[in-house]
Amino acid sequence: MNKVKVENPSDSISPKDVELLLQWAGSKLLSLPNPKKRSYSYSWPDYRYDNIPNNFSGLSLRTPTPTSYEIDLLDSILDLIHYVPNPISRKIIQSRSLISPITQKHIFLWSQISRLLSLSPTTTKRYYSSGIVQIIKFADKEKIIYFKSQI
């Protein structure tokens, strides 16, 4: 008698799961500290209110720095993009996965990406969807399920 393996529904991978993983990684990527590099100094003083947001509360908005574990996980998740063979799809997926860590909104809108690549917005979305499907098709499923459980 043949045994039929019944998959656990929580182990299935949907395109939305891959999108959420990439968006989480993009948000963590943008929350990494960016030290200011000055190649020269200038004599104009920094004013007290230069770095204060519009509410003048004296608090600057910063996201917490990711832990070393989150950075390792971020690197592994962003490696999933290399499973997409089409370079245009890869660029679109990379651009679309950048999420502001403060506002949780996309950095690049569909219209901006399509204008940069000289494509129509519907063609841009098709490239994006096909890239996500290729990630699901070619990537290690256990790895994606593990990533889902960690974020």
pTM for this entry: 0.75
Q: What is the pLDDT of residues 9-61, one digit of tens each?
A: 556 889 999 999 999 999 999 998 876 665 655 555 555 555 545 555 555 66
Query: 84 — phi, psi (to 5°)?
Result: -90, 115
Q: What is the pLDDT of residue 118?
A: 94
Least confident of 40-44, 88-92, 98-102, 142-146: 40-44
Residue % of the chain over a pLDDT of 90:
54
DSSP assignment letter at 124: H
* The CA-based dihedral angle spanning residues 35, 41, 44, 48, taken in that order and rounded to the nearest 10 degrees: 20
